[in-house]
Amino acid sequence: MENYKFVGEKILMWYQIHKRILPWRDITDPYKIWVSEVILQQTRVVQGLEYYGRFIERFPDVHTLATADEQEVLKYWQGLGYYSRARNLHAAARSIETHFGGKFPEDYESLLKLKGIGEYTAAAIASFAFNQPCPVVDGNVFRFLSRLFAIDEPIDTSKGKKFFTELAVRLMDRRQAGLFNQAIMEFGALQCVPVSPDCGICTLAPHCLAKMQEKISEFPVKLNKPKIKEVYHYYFLVHSGEFIFLKKREGKGIWQNLYEFPSVESEIPLSFEDLVKCTDFQALFPGNACRPAHDTSLVFKLLIKNYKHVLTHRILYADFYEVSVENTSGVDKYKKIRQSEIGEYPIHRLMQSFMEKINK
């Protein structure tokens, strides 16, 4: 691989000219690098910028984050999705306070022990903040390397990940590991883009095997396509006088500890007649349990039907109903608030979309 040293050199030269100016660039504060990496895991840079700014302003260091209330941390994350990221940030900040005296650990192995920090994030922090020669191989790097060397090893297997990680190590200029990692990621993100890269202006075009073979669209190779599951949610904006009810989602899941309206979930679409027969529905509205499905004494107003919300491995379809009840025994276990207070609670993206629609 000695002959390929020029790859790193060319990428570093390209990076000096083309890199985006971002608040988490050219800094060595591991806390800020960590927050930015976690935000960018599932979020585009443009959207992430705004969240990063607000998050760092409110929680500027590990100590502030560690001593904050989880509900407030989730509130600052609201709209970004994948809330386990925020919960893990919070838990890891507490762990750094307790086990490392509030000082960010510098070595890769210690970073890996923190909640929510996997190999990728540990390598990013270790190399960007502490210039340690840990390769950072994200989707952009996989794509670029697989095309440059026309590698048909699938990137979504442990064997493939190991292969590409070792390749990145061999290309890396160890004296400037952090810079090299940022440069190769940026090169993949801006130059060797997923669809129709502009190879005509690419500094590595004369060496790119995928380009020479006219097979750019065939790389990277993936073995497994994620299975997408469909789930149907039926939400109820339940009024009792001036109050409404919010349910906190318990248990594991991407929306853990976030709030939403009382709901019924189903793996198949339900007509209203079928919905009324569900045990969960009858538990929410017990007065209707003994009546025939069509003879409900309550008036359910359908506000939004079949609202589609796409997650990585799921497609959600949601109906939102509004109903006023006198008998609140089915929803008394939930938080009773005024509708104007809903902004004080962290809600998930689907609920947020609904609130935006009805507020219009």
Residues lying near ligand SF4 in the complex (CB under 6 A) are found at 144, 147-148, 191-192, 197, 199, 202, 204-205, 208, 210-211, 216
Closest distance between ligand SF4 and the C-beta of residue 5, in Å?
A: 17
250 is known as an active-site residue: no
Closest distance between ligand SF4 and the C-beta of residue 194, in Å?
A: 10
The residue written with tokens 């994030």 in the block is 121
Nearer to ligand SF4, 201 or 310 (CB): 201
Strand segments, DSSP code E, in the chain are 229-239, 243-248, 259-260, 263-266, 301-310, 314-324, 335-338
Q: Which of 2, 9, 37, 153 is catalytic?
A: 37
CA distance 336 to 348: 18
Q: Quick one: which of 11, 16, 9 has its CA closest to 191?
A: 11
Nearer to ligand SF4, 10 or 249 (CB): 10
Nearer to ligand SF4, 92 or 155 (CB): 155
Closest distance between ligand SF4 and the C-beta of residue 208, in Å?
A: 3
Nearer to ligand SF4, 210 or 351 (CB): 210
Closest distance between ligand SF4 and the C-beta of residue 205, in Å?
A: 4
Residue type, 301: K
Residue type, 242: E
Please name every residue paired with 320 in a beta bridge, in sequence order, or none if there are none: 235, 304
CA distance 90 to 70: 7
CA distance 26 to 235: 46
CA distance 140 to 186: 8
Return the active site residues. 37
